[in-house]
């Protein structure tokens, strides 16, 4: 974005919130410009960007938000995520805004950790955590070149925005803190994410359509391009869902690299919106098993449709192309329709993946979380809402055994699937618990009810 005026701010000791906000407001009122934070540490509470303003972090500049949820009571947002209604840097209804420069935002996640749950391999997060950046209803948005580290919750969240560009951004989050998604496009139209590097415990780049305060979808997500990004994720690296209240259509992920990750590519329909016209192209993957507290375990591709609320059936997944995918996985490729809306017209072409045994064996089950059981866990059961819930048998609800053991590709309840030049290399002899068939196709989901109860 172009800046008509420039204001440079030197780093000062103490809280700089009032000073920075006053300069943002003044620049916007005078027609826009760049607020440049010079090298050094800039401490502040919540900031609200205004139209026409580029918040620029110069090389050596560190923006260090106060690590206290109460510090963001004045920068609340309308879409609540994981109980959070606050952001460290927010904007609403703004146009031509930016967050740029070669500096850093150090978001202080360690102050939002309350314990360590070694049984599932995650830290226990505080009940209330702010997101780092939340832009709502904004147009002409640019975030480029900055590095963001140690996010307490979602890192970049764009809600109902248009004309979004995220370029050359680095996100370095704690790999054991849940819900630290890298980039979330929520009901956005017209967005490009390119040349970014992301390492996080949760989804890397995620497209979704949340529900608004009025109880309806905030909008559609469409015309999205993600390219040349490198992602490490302990949930799903390149993902659509799980919040899918509105439609998602015309999405292209291409020329990306996924490494040291749980799931690589994923589509998860849960809330009524239709997901259509999605292409994953030229992507390298490295997928490894994880403890069962993390969703999925070692899958190169996971697509599933689940009715998690009976009154709001999941929408269909249609017209999916996955092509030129290479790498390795310790789980399987799974495409499962466990709801009547179904999955239709899927093409897998030129897939070359080594399927390897993992060290902990969690890849030998397929994962249909989140289910209805995760929405309201029983008080006498183990688990954490919207993450995992254990049933009376002690097993995590939503983890299912493959019929006959783990294949290379498991397809259930799908109408119209084409597999061309799909080569999954498997060890010989096959490890215990593996299916002797490379590909297992079922006309109905293994658990056709699509319902899990505590």
CA of 77: how far to CAs of 157, 212, 246, 318, in Å? 11, 11, 20, 33
pLDDT above 70 covers a percentage of the chain that reads 94
- Residue 208 resides in a domain: yes
**pLDDT tens digits along 65-82:** 999 999 999 999 999 999
**pLDDT tens digits along 110-137:** 999 999 988 777 899 999 999 999 999 9
What local confidence, expressed as pLDDT, does residue 453 receive?
32
**pLDDT tens digits along 221-266:** 999 999 999 999 999 999 999 999 999 999 999 999 999 999 999 9
Number of domains in the chain: 1
What local confidence, expressed as pLDDT, does residue 292 receive?
82
The pairs formed by 116-119 with CB atoms below 8 angstroms and a separation of 24 or more are 117/293, 119/291, 119/293
- Residue 356 resides in a domain: yes
399, β-bridge pairs: 367
pTM higher than 0.75 for the full model? yes
What local confidence, expressed as pLDDT, does residue 1 receive?
54
- Residue 263 resides in a domain: yes
73 and 102 Cβ atoms separated by less than 8 Å: no
**pLDDT tens digits along 329-351:** 999 999 999 999 999 999 999 99
Full domain range(s) for residue 151: 6-442
Task: Look over the chain and give the mean of its residue pLDDT values, rounded to a whole number.
Answer: 93
What is the arithmetic mean of pLDDT over 22-49?
98
- The CATH number of residue 44's host domain is 2.160.20.10
Distance, in Å, from the CA atom of 402 to the CA atom of 434, rounded to the nearest integer, reads 9
44, β-bridge pairs: 65
Residue 269, pLDDT above cutoff 80: yes
- Residue 310 resides in a domain: yes
Distance, in Å, from the CA atom of 157 to the CA atom of 75, rounded to the nearest integer, reads 14
What is the arithmetic mean of pLDDT over 50-78?
98
Half-sphere exposure of 405 (CA within 13 A, CB side): 10
Q: Which residues contact 191 (CB under 8 A, 6 or more apart)?
A: 158, 161, 163, 164, 165, 166, 185, 223, 224, 225
- Residue 102 resides in a domain: yes
Among 38-52, 90-104, 293-307, 385-399, the least confident range: 385-399
- Residue 392 resides in a domain: yes
- Residue 123 resides in a domain: yes
Confidence of residue 213 (pLDDT cuts 50, 70, 90): confident
- Residue 423 resides in a domain: yes
CA of 394: how far to CAs of 254, 376, 391, in Å? 40, 17, 5
Structure tokens that stand for 210 in this block = 């949340």
What is the arithmetic mean of pLDDT over 41-63?
98
Confidence of residue 286 (pLDDT cuts 50, 70, 90): very high
């Amino acid at each position: 974005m172009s800046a008509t005026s420039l204001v440079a701010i030197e780093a000062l000791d103490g809280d700089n919130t009032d000073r920075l906000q006053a300069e943002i407001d003044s620049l916007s009122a005078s027609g826009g410009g760049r607020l440049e934070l010079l090298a050094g540490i800039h401490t502040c509470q919540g900031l609200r960007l205004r139209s026409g303003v580029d918040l620029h972090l110069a090389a050596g500049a560190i923006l260090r938000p106060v690590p206290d949820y109460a510090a963001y009571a004045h920068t609340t947002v309308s879409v609540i995520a994981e109980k959070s209604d606050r952001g460290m840097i927010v904007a609403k209804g703004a146009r031509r805004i930016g967050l740029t420069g070669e500096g850093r935002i150090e978001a202080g996640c360690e102050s939002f950790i309350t314990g360590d749950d070694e049984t599932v391999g995650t830290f226990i997060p505080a009940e209330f955590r702010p997101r780092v950046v939340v832009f709502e209803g904004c147009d002409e948005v640019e975030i480029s070149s900055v590095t963001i580290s140690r996010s307490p919750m979602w890192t970049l969240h764009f809600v109902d925005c248009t004309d979004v560009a995220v370029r050359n951004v680095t996100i370095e989050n704690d790999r054991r803190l849940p819900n630290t998604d890298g980039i979330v496009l929520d009901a956005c139209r017209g967005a490009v994410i390119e040349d970014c590097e992301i390492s996080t415990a949760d989804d890397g780049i995620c497209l979704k359509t949340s529900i608004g305060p009025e109880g309806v979808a905030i909008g559609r997500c469409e015309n999205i391009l993600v390219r040349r990004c490198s992602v490490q994720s302990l949930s799903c690296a390149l993902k659509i869902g799980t919040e899918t209240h509105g439609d998602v259509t015309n999405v292209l992920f291409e020329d990306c690299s996924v490494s040291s990750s749980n799931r690589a590519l994923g589509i998860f329909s849960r809330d009524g919106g239709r997901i259509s016209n999605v292409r994953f192209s030229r992507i390298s993957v490295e997928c490894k098993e994880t403890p069962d507290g993390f969703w999925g375990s070692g899958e190169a591709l996971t697509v599933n449709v689940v009715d998690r609320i009976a009154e709001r059936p999941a929408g269909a997944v249609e017209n999916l192309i996955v092509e030129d995918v290479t790498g390795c996985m310790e789980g399987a490729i799974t495409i499962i329709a466990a709801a009547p809306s179904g999955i239709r017209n899927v093409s897998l072409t030129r897939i070359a993946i080594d399927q390897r045994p993992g060290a902990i064996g969690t890849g030998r089950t397929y994962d249909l979380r989140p289910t209805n059981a995760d929405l309201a866990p029983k008080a006498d059961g183990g688990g954490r809402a919207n993450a995992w819930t254990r049933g009376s048998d002690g097993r995590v609800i939503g983890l299912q055994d493959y019929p006959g053991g783990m294949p290379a590709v498991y397809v259930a309840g799908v109408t119209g699937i084409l597999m061309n030049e799909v080569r999954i290399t498997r060890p010989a002899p096959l490890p215990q618990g593996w299916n002797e068939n490379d590909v297992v196709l079922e006309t109905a989901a293994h658990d056709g009810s699509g319902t899990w109860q505590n």
